[in-house]
Amino acid sequence: MSKVVLCYSGGLDTTVCIPLLKERYGFREVITVTVNVGQPEEELKRAEERGKKYADKHYTVDAVDEFVNMIFMLIKANGDYEGYVLGTALARPLIARKVAEIAVKENADAVAHGATGKGNDQLRFDNIFFEYGFKVIAPMRELNLTREWEIEYAMKNGIDIPVTKDKPWSIDENLWSRSVEGGELENPSTVPPEEIYEWTMRKAEEDEIIKIDFEKGIPAALNDERMNGKELIQELNRIGGEHGIGRTDMMEDRVLGLKARENYEHPAATILITAHRDLEKLVLSRRELKFKRFVEEEWAELVYYGLVNDPLFDALNAFIDKTQERVSGWVKLKLGNNYVMPVARDSEYSLYREELVSFDSLGIDQSLAEGFSVFHGLQGRIFRKMMK
């Protein structure tokens, strides 16, 4: 085989893959593709420099706007897998699709990625690559490589790497979240050092209240200032991070059945999902909310598993979009030390009626509830009497 297209992050794993694809697999040409889903500019620049230095050809593809649209989809679904806001999981299929498109353009013989055989990313990448009919090469998985071996290999071969044995963190960052793995973090009994965090270094000394406007489930304005999705998420990452909001340290159930300790930062995600859920409680009926919770769980699992090309995913989104037709209005949230709490909300579609609920207003003839009360719990009372 002569040509392979590599999904390239610029990190240790994928940089080591470049020479390995030639040495171990016999490819004559390695083409790297970095997909921009909101990584820091310096990271994108570093990836481009390394790609051009070590590979035969390099592409950088801008997919930020498409990723923002996927984030909007996630917000409408209150996307959450076991407490994880699905930042990496949501981005992987989009990245894979952009890489596959380059591979088609280049008439490549195969595509490759740097995912291991123990994690979820291999499945998320492979599923999309297989959809395009490509042969998939995964050196980390196929050669059973360890991170320590990779570091030593890179040092011996003069490859510039962003990690050391003392700080072996594997970091994945995009617009929606930042994940940190590896090293001592793999021990669930170890308290993570503060040095792993960047987005949530608390600086704010006082609580503050912010206002978020939604239009059909999509955040549209912050403190009455309209912003596009990217700007709004970036600003909430900044504001929320200053309050220390959005850290997750969890034991996660991977697709393969392995339990893994995962550390995430996601201030904007925490704030937006909290606000969106609160607004939904104001405008959706009890039965809509109950059924939507089941839909959300299935939606999140499909995203986590990388199965966004499954027809069920489209069907779930169709239901979710229908519920979002009335999720318009605003929510005010109090941001404090490591917490966010809704404190006010309003919508023209509100199902709340003060005159019906208030203790200071009749609104409804309370005596009508007596008949309902007689039958409420009837079977339980019959059961208790029978058991006596």
Q: Which of 13, 80, 126, 172 is catalytic?
A: 13
Q: Which of 46, 80, 121, 326 is catalytic?
A: 121
Q: Which of 9, 46, 80, 92 is catalytic?
A: 92
Gap between the Cα atoms of 241 and 265, Å rounded: 9
Torsion of CA 73, 311, 294, 255, to 10 degrees: -90
Q: Which of 56, 109, 170, 249 is catalytic?
A: 170
CB atoms < 10 A from the CB of 126, how many?
A: 19
Judge whether 13 counts as a catalytic residue: yes
Q: Which two tokens stand for residue 235?
A: 């600003």
In Å, how far are 163, 336, 368 from 112, measured between CA atoms?
22, 44, 68
Judge whether 9 counts as a catalytic residue: no
Judge whether 92 counts as a catalytic residue: yes
Q: Which two tokens stand for residue 26?
A: 């016999």
6 phi and psi angles, rounded to 5 deg:
-105, 125
Judge whether 310 counts as a catalytic residue: no
Q: Which residues contact 238 (CB under 8 A, 6 or more apart)?
A: 267
Q: How many CA atoms lie within 13 A of 304 on its CB side?
A: 20
Q: Which residues contact 62 (CB under 8 A, 6 or more apart)?
A: 36
The residues annotated as belonging to the active site are: 13, 92, 121, 170
